[in-house]
Structure 1
Amino acid sequence: MKRLRAWGLGVLLFCGCATTSARRETPSVPDVAALDAEAARAMAATGAKGLAIAVIDDGRVVASRAYGARDAKGEPLRTDTVMYGASITKTVFAYLVMQLADEKRIDLDTSISKYLDKPLPEYPDEDRYSTWSHLAGDERWRDITPRVLLTHSAGFANFGFLEPDERLRIHFAPGSRFAYSGDGIILMQFVLERGLGLDVGAELQRRVFDRFGMRTTSMTWRPDFASNLADGWTADGSVEPHDERSRVRAAGSMDTTLDDLSRFAAALVRGEGLSPEVFARMTSPQLPITTKSQFPTLQDELPPEARRKDLAAGLGVVVFDGPQGRGFFKNGHNDSTANTLVCLPRGRRCVLILSNDVRAEPAYPHLVRFVLGEAGVPWDWEYGDMAFWDGR
């Protein structure tokens, strides 16, 4: 693996680990030519049509590269092309919630019932949210807190409409275990909007997109996106047009670009906009993860002796411990989108990969290792039984 001291960056040393090999040299980031070559190899191996990669080192974006096509006409994918943020939206939204916690406007461990003017199941069903009325008769909703929602432990399925009867329900005691849920994030949005009177789209625009110069990022569709827009490719190679999302959905409606989202990633790993205490809380273990993989969301828990000790839910991110210390990550995925963000706080280093072709995902473990070195990202938990490209 070719690695150079590129962009004038020095080598950093990790310290403070509990083992005898406490001092570990941080791998230097690959130079642009090496990154370009490895991306080309990954695209050839997976058949992916488009790929974009940003590298953050010491809290600064040091490389932003795009490859391949943005649509079936073969127009080039660029670092300023509008792409679907998918579930990385959840991390951006969690950052907003943590700012509100920092400002004492919301308490992470207070029941959501304290923020609402009537019981959650009494709110009328609205298309932009979920069907809270389905929770009537189950008082466990009162045990749900912002921390529960940001750690994906409300007891919901991913979305209520995915239940066999399409009814939202609580499957286990809130806060007792991790089970990924988009509806849980939507409920946190509901609490902010109905309980605190906030406009989540406007708050994200002001607190995140404007603050970090994310000029081509929005939680809803903008007409100016159309001139430089990425469509997507599905697993069978068919083209999926970009969806023009008209509603703010904290679980995943964000459109963005590699350039924009890398600015957010750099700010996040620096802890900018959060107190050190709140940043540490967001990116540290809050709840053990006890399942073999992330999906399906409501799978059985592993017996205690089989559970990973290096994996936990943070607040809006998943936290892991590896050879370079603690890290956090968040992926985003749909039928034609494959995104990942992996960060290592000790060196304030991240790699952000966006693809408008879901076939790129098998190359992500190799590409992340190529940029960051071996970090210990729990790829088998994230992707389950996916066969990964090993770089050969």
Structure 2
Amino acid sequence: MKLLHACVLGLFVTSGCATTSASRQVPSLPDTAALDAEVARAMAATGAKGLAIAVIDDGRVVATRAYGARNAQGEPLQTDTVMYGASITKTVFAYTVMQLVDEKKLELDTPISRYLDKPLPEYPDEDRYSTWSHLADDARWTRITPRHPLTHSVGFANFGFLEPDQRLRFHFDPGSRYAYSGDGLILLQFVLERGMGLDLGAEMQKRVFDRFGMVNTSMVWRPDFAKNLADGWTMEGAVEPHDERGTVRAAGSMDTTIDDLARFAAALVRGEGLSPQSFAELTSPQLAITTKSQFPSLQAELPVEQRRKDLAAGLGVVVFEGPQGRGFYKGGHNDSTGNTLVCLPGSRRCVLILANDVRAENAFPQLVRFVLGETGVPFDWEYGDRVFWDGR
């Protein structure tokens, strides 16, 4: 496969071993030629049209690469091409929230009712949020704290509009179990904006995008993105135009580039911008995960003896234990987007993959393993019964 564009910020380690703080030896990183060849094989095997990848070592971005096409016209995907961040937005949002915690503007375990000037169900319905009025007959909303949305344990479905009657409701008591919910994050956004008077888009711009020089990243569409923009490909190979999202959504409205998001990932894994306590909370097990897979989000819990002991919710990330110690990761997905961020705090290494072709997800386990070695990332839990490309 022809590599249409590649940009190298630095050289990978090509010999020797790195050592984590726990004195675990970790594999050497591949050189860029080897990475290019492996990505080419992955794209050929999966049929993916476009993919970008970044590697972080010891908290520094050492390389960003882009391969394939950004649109049906065959224009090259570049490392500064604007791509959809999808649910990796949730991790950036969690990072922003933890800054507010550090500044004592927000407490993770204080009920959200303390930040609102009237009961949540009494707020008028607005298109940019979910429909809180549906909760009028269920007082469990008063038990929700900011920790619950960040650990996906509010009790909601992924989104209220996915319910059979499109009405938001509780399926379990807040904090009692994990079930992925975008509306949970939207609720926390509502608390920040309507309860605390913050502008989330402006806060994320100031606290993250400006701070780390992410010049082509925004929580809403910018017209200047159009000059170098990635469309996407679905599992069936159909082209899907990039969605120009005009509303800030904590659950997933971020547009970004591999260059930009790699800067955030590097800062995150080294804990920059957060107190040691907040970084530890974000990246440590907060709540056991008790389901066979990530989706469907409201599936039944497994019997205790069948639950994974290496898997838990962090704050805006999933935390796992593996051969190289503790790691954390976050995925992002829609019909034409596949993203993943995998980080190992012990060695401060990460792999970030943004794909504008959802078929690339089938190669994610092999590509992460090729760069970082065996990590224990729970891709089988993330993607369920999907058949992955094994590199052969």
Normalising by structure 1, report the TM-score.
Answer: 0.96
Map Cα deviations across residues 232-286 of structure 1 (whole Å, 9 max, x no partner). 0001100000000000001000000000000000000000000111100110000
Write the letter of the residue equivalent to 1:97. V
Distance, in Å, in 2 between the alignment partners of 1:269 and 1:196 is 28
Evaluate the alpha carbon distance shift between residue 326 and residue 15 of structure 1 in structure 2; reply closer, same or farther with a 3 A threshold.
same
- Residue of structure 2 equivalent to 1:19: none
Write the letter of the residue equivalent to 2:184. G
Aligned residues of 2:13 and 2:28 also touching (Cα < 8 A) = no
| Secondary structure of 1:332 counterpart | strand
- Show the 5 A alignment for 1:43-192: 43-192=43-192
Give the % identical residues: 79
Write the letter of the residue equivalent to 1:100. L
| TM-fit CA distance, 1:9 | 8.2
- Show the 5 A alignment for 1:246-325: 246-325=246-325
Distance, in Å, in 1 between the alignment partners of 2:83 and 2:243 is 10
- Residue of structure 2 equivalent to 1:342: 342
Distance, in Å, in 2 between the alignment partners of 1:103 and 1:88 is 24
| TM-fit CA distance, 1:376 | 0.3
| TM-fit CA distance, 1:15 | 5.0
- Residue of structure 2 equivalent to 1:11: 17
Write the letter of the residue equivalent to 1:193. E
Distance, in Å, in 2 between the alignment partners of 1:211 and 1:116 is 29
- Residue of structure 1 equivalent to 2:240: 240
Map Cα deviations across residues 162-192 of structure 1 (whole Å, 9 max, x no partner). 0000000011000000000000000010000
Distance, in Å, in 1 between the alignment partners of 2:104 and 2:318 is 24
Normalising by structure 2, report the TM-score.
Answer: 0.96
Map Cα deviations across residues 45-65 of structure 1 (whole Å, 9 max, x no partner). 000000100000000000100
Count of aligned residue pairs for this structure pair: 382
- Show the 5 A alignment for 1:205-216: 205-216=205-216
Distance, in Å, in 2 between the alignment partners of 1:8 and 1:218 is 35
- Residue of structure 2 equivalent to 1:200: 200
Aligned residues of 1:117 and 1:195 also touching (Cα < 8 A) = yes
Distance, in Å, in 2 between the alignment partners of 1:15 and 1:154 is 35
Evaluate the alpha carbon distance shift between residue 7 and residue 25 of structure 1 in structure 2; reply closer, same or farther with a 3 A threshold.
closer
| TM-fit CA distance, 1:6 | 3.2
Unaligned 5+ runs, structure 2: 1-10
Distance, in Å, in 2 between the alignment partners of 1:296 and 1:178 is 12
Write the letter of the residue equivalent to 1:303. P
Unaligned 5+ runs, structure 1: 17-22
- Residue of structure 2 equivalent to 1:353: 353
Distance, in Å, in 1 between the alignment partners of 2:314 and 2:77 is 33
Distance, in Å, in 2 between the alignment partners of 1:381 and 1:142 is 31
| TM-fit CA distance, 1:14 | 2.8
Aligned residues of 1:53 and 1:351 also touching (Cα < 8 A) = yes
- Give the aligned CA root-mean-square deviation in angstroms: 1.0
- Residue of structure 1 equivalent to 2:6: none
Map Cα deviations across residues 22-76 of structure 1 (whole Å, 9 max, x no partner). x431111111100000000000000000010000000000010000000000000
Write the letter of the residue equivalent to 1:186. I
